[in-house]
Structure 1
């Protein structure tokens, strides 16, 4: 499962956040653009709940309006919405 959120107000240089949950772990990808470009930072977590807690505590993400998207296809970057 992947979901992302474009922030209403930039936090430092963060404009967009994505959470990617696999069977065993979760990642948070941080972006300095609204465009579909690679992230500038990523963090690993043991669970999606930990990733969501990080987003709330460190980026002030309190919104529940995440956009859910498909998992990346094989061979595609996990932090990009579309495979290029």
Structure 2
């Protein structure tokens, strides 16, 4: 399960959050952009409810602000909305720092900007 939420009052260093839950727990990801990108930070929680409670307490994020989005494809990054993966990861030879995005059925390099 994945959800995203925009902060009602964005901060310079934080504009949106994503919540991802799997069988190992829940991850809360923080972003300083509204564009789809990798997160700036993440925190682990035992449950999605605990992550949502922390987001509400720390960032005043109302429960109704969360919107459900699709889960990532296998071997894709959990913190990106689009299907993005580490180059070579599916073949067992990951090239850390190099990402590719699925566009029109083709994997293309992700051009990271600073």
- Assess same fold via TM > 0.5: yes
**Distance apart, 1:65 and its partner CA:** 2.9
| Unmatched 5+ stretches in structure 1 | none
State the number of aligned residues: 84
Question: Larger C-alpha radius of gyration, 1 or 2?
Answer: 2
**Paired residue for 1:82?**
82
Matched with 1:9 is 9
The higher-RCO structure (CA 8 Å, 6+ apart) is 1
Cα deviations across residues 42-73 of structure 1 (Å, max 9, x unaligned)?
00000011101110111111241311111111
After the TM superposition, list the runs of 4 or more consecutive aligned residues in structure 1 that deviate by more than 6 angstroms.
none
Correspondence for 1:41: 41
How far residue 8 of structure 1 moved from its aligned partner, in angstroms, is 2.8
The question of whether the paired residues in 2 share the 8 Å contact of 1:11 and 1:59 is answered with no
Q: Distance in 1 between matches of 2:73 and 2:47?
A: 21
Residue 59 of structure 1 aligns with which residue? 59
Alignment pair present for 1:18 and 2:18: yes
Write out per-residue CA displacement over residues 3-52 of structure 1, whole angstroms, 9 at most, x where no aligned residue.
00112321351100001011230000000000000010100000011101
- Separation in structure 2 between the aligned mates of residue 33 and residue 12 of structure 1, nearest angstrom: 9
